[in-house]
Amino acid sequence: MVDDSRSGDTGEGLLGRGRVSRLSSREEAVEFDVVSVEVGEDAVGILTLNRPDKLNTFNTPLASQFDAALRQLDGERLVHAIILRGAGRVFCAGIDLDEFPGKSEQEYRAWTDLMERPLATMMAISKPIIAQVHGVAVANGAGTVAAADLAVAAESARFGLTAINVGLNCVGPVIPVSRSVGRKKALELLYFGELISAATAAEIGLINRVVPDDALEEETRAWARKLAEKSQVALRSAKTSFYAAADLAFGSAMSYMNGAFAALCTTQDAAEGVAAFKEKRPPVWQGS
């Protein structure tokens, strides 16, 4: 579990190591206070939702900073894999209802688009994201877990699409959830708004692994390190191709993937990987 005191304190620049409150890229730099970012020596970046007093619920600043941090981490050469986690007692309890009242339909549409934007960005960026889940992940929190490429959860974690219980619904988060668990299970979660255990979430495909609570951070970090050691060229191609093909008809998807694989075959990393395999030695990835 992440300590409640974790925050976006200013530390070394991202091109150094440690905790940072701002990332710089070709885009305008964004100051972070409700998310925080750390970069480790193992090429793993950690993005923390940092509103522990509000159970890491999405509001306008968090959604905006979360989206910006994802995009800028994706452009950071020292980061090969990303862990997404929540500060305090839970991963994320959805959207902050303090921002809900008094909007017009057009204003609700713009607000909802902002709340859901980071979920789309998670799948659009090229670096793999592992959600590290403790406490609860409900409503937009469950959608965030589903939008991650992979997810590891503590045994005590709970998940749900709970907005139906307050007269709303989770029709945004259910999109990534349905792509993980299928139509029947997604509709069951959407209609009933009940919580499910981590074991059930793994059984239906919402998450990948369930680990003891006290091993969550260690197990997630170890998995991220394994990803960070892979060819980043091959990994980037795998993720971007997977999501690009997901919306295509079967034949078109196969054709797209064949083109992506052919392009990958021409890279230096592909040549190095095949040579290392034949020579029975570890590969030295070139990054191109």
Q: Kindly state the percentage of the chain with pLDDT values over 70.
A: 90
Q: Judge if 217 and 83 occupy the same domain.
A: yes
Contacts of 69 (CB under 8 A, 6+ apart): 23, 30, 32, 35, 37, 47
Of 228, 256, 271, the residue that ends a domain is: 228
Q: In this structure, are 76 and 201 located in the same domain?
A: yes
pLDDT band at 31 (very low <50, low <70, confident <90, very high): confident
**pLDDT 10s digits, 36-66:** 999 989 999 999 999 999 999 999 999 999 9
Confidence of residue 22 (pLDDT cuts 50, 70, 90): very low
The pLDDT, as a whole number, for residue 99 is 94
- Do residues 257 and 145 both lie within one domain? no
Helix intervals (H) in 205-249: 216-228, 232-246
pLDDT band at 12 (very low <50, low <70, confident <90, very high): very low
Same domain, 148 and 34: yes
Region 173-199 average pLDDT: 98
Distance between CA atoms of residues 194 and 25, nearest Å:
41
Residue 126 lies in a domain: yes
What average pLDDT is seen over the chain?
Answer: 91
User: At residue 1, does pLDDT exceed 80?
Assistant: no
Query: Residue 170 is part of which domain span?
Result: 18-228
Is 238 found in the same domain as 209? no
CA distance 127 to 129: 7
Confidence of residue 251 (pLDDT cuts 50, 70, 90): very high
In this prediction, residue 23 has a pLDDT band, given cuts at 50, 70 and 90, of very low
Among 25-34, 102-111, 261-270, 279-288, the minimum mean pLDDT is found in 25-34
Region 6-28 average pLDDT: 39
Same domain for 99 and 239, yes or no, is no
| 250 lies in the same domain as 119 | no
253 found inside a domain: yes
Instruction: Determine the length of the chain.
Output: 288
Q: How confident is the model at residue 226 (pLDDT cuts 50, 70, 90)?
A: very high
pLDDT tops 60 at residue 76: yes
pLDDT at 106 over 50: yes
Give the rounded percent of residues in the chain with a pLDDT score beyond 90: 88
If you average pLDDT over residues 80-105, what whole number do you get?
Answer: 97
Residues 102 and 167 in one domain: yes
Domains held by the chain: number: 2
Tell whether 161 is covered by a domain. Answer: yes
For residue 11, being part of any structural domain is answered with no
Is the pLDDT at 205 greater than 80? The verdict is: yes
pLDDT band at 86 (very low <50, low <70, confident <90, very high): very high
Question: Do 127 and 236 touch, CB atoms closer than 8 A?
Answer: yes
pLDDT at res. 20? 47
Would you say 21 and 32 are in contact if contact means Cβ atoms under 8 Å apart?
yes
CATH code, domain with 220: 3.90.226.10
* Rounded Cα distance, 123 and 115, in Å: 15
> Considering the domain boundaries, does residue 65 fall inside one?
yes
- Residue 21 has a pLDDT of 46
Does 245 lie in the same domain as 202?
A: no
**pLDDT of 3 above 80:** no
Q: 5: which 2 tokens?
A: 């005191």
Tell me the whole-structure pTM to 2 decimals: 0.90
- pLDDT computed for residue 224 by the predictor: 98
In a domain, 9, yes or no: no
Based on the domain organization, do 148 and 268 belong to the same domain? no
Is 133 a member of any domain?
Answer: yes
Whether 71 and 186 share a structural domain = yes
CA 252 to CA 123: how far, in whole Å?
20
Give me 10's structure tokens.
């200013």
**Domain end call among 189, 206, 228:** 228
**Which of 193, 211, 228 finishes a domain?**
228
Q: In this structure, is residue 66 part of a structural domain?
A: yes
